[in-house]
């Protein structure tokens, strides 16, 4: 299977399983410039990386019209490097990180678009806010002048139980819809980022509009 064929399969699944359409975010982490260019040449412009350094290096070498997404945990000491460099940060997982992003964005005189990462299944190994914290969090976000929240993101547990995984996605969609009805200045609920190679069909069925796919496009990742 070629990258092109893999992507065609995914696009077909999007047509088949998503009610309102979804965007394919190509997760390019660990893959080289030439591989990424293949996807660029097919017309894709949304690429996701999980490490700040790797993202910035690739950004330098690739065309300027790419929209870069940071999808991995962001350490506070790396915020300075990434603010203003990315279209969207999916992985805002703590209040202190939010404060730091706002501070740095303010110094750079820009507004950084972000998603709030939610830890639906309350796994210790995962970052993110709990569902119960979100309403309060959204009230507190009003104080920030230099971040804009464009939606929510989650990573489902890496297990076989499809019903459970679907229930996780359903929960996120439910809270997404609820929060979408509130109106705050710097919140504009557009994106619900859920679904990876192993679970994106379930996520599409539950209303995801950004699926983050790596292995299904590029094959298995090889870590050096």
Ligand X SMILES: *Cc1c(COP(=O)(O)O)cnc(C)c1O
Instruction: Give the residue at shortest CB distance from ligand X.
Output: 214
Which region, judged by CB under 6 A, interacts with ligand X, from 57-65, 120-128, 160-168, 209-217?
A: 209-217
Cβ proximity to ligand X, 71 vs 116, nearer residue:
71
Tokens 């993202």 sit on residue: 55
Q: Which is nearer to ligand X, 66 or 213 (CB)?
A: 213
Over the window 60 to 89, marking each residue x when it contacts ligand X by CB under 6 A and - when it does not, the resulting string is -----------xx-----------------
Backbone angles phi, psi at 192, to 5 degrees: -125, 105
Which residues within the stretch 144-203 sit at the binding site for ligand X (CB under 6 A)?
155, 196-198
Neighbours of 41 (CB within 10 A): 10
State which residue, 135 or 161, has the beta carbon closest to ligand X. Answer: 161
CA distance 83 to 148: 13
Write phi, then psi, for 206 (nearest 5 degrees). Answer: -95, 5
Q: Can you tell me which of 28, 50, 112, 209 binds ligand X, judged by CB under 6 A?
A: 50
Contact between 25 and 193 (Cβ < 8 Å) = yes
Asked if residue 131 lies in contact with residue 179, where contact means CB atoms within 8 angstroms, the answer is no
Binding of residue 212 to ligand X (CB under 6 A) = yes
Q: How far is the CB of 171 from ligand X (least distance, A)?
A: 18
The H or E element that residue 135 is part of is helix 134-141
- Residue-wise DSSP of 66-83: -EEEE-S---GGGHHHHT
Pick from 128, 157, 207, 214 the residue near ligand X by CB under 6 A: 214
For ligand X, the binding residues (CB under 6 A) are 27, 29, 50, 71-72, 155, 196-198, 212-216
């Amino acid at each position: 299977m070629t990258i092109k064929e893999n992507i065609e399969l995914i696009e077909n699944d999007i047509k088949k399983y998503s009610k309102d359409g979804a965007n394919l975010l190509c997760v390019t982490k660990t893959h080289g410039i030439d591989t990424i260019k293949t996807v660029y040449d097919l017309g894709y412009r949304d690429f996701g990386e999980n490490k700040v350094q790797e993202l910035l290096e690739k950004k330098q070498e690739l065309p300027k019209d790419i929209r870069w997404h940071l999808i991995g945990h962001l350490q506070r000491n790396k915020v300075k490097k990434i603010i203003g460099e990315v279209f969207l940060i999916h992985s805002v997982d703590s209040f202190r990180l939010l404060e730091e992003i706002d501070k740095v964005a303010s110094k750079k005189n820009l507004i950084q678009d972000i998603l709030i990462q939610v830890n639906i299944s309350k796994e210790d190994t995962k970052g993110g806010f709990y569902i119960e914290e979100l309403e309060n969090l959204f009230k507190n976000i009003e104080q920030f002048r230099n971040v804009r929240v464009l939606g929510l993101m989650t990573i489902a547990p890496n297990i076989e139980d499809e019903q459970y995984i679907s229930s996780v996605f359903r929960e996120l969609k439910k809270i997404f819809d609820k929060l979408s009805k509130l109106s705050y200045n710097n919140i504009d609920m557009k994106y619900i980022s859920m679904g990876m190679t192993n679970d994106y069909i379930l996520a599409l069925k539950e209303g995801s509009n950004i699926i983050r796919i790596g292995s299904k496009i590029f094959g298995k990742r090889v870590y050096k």
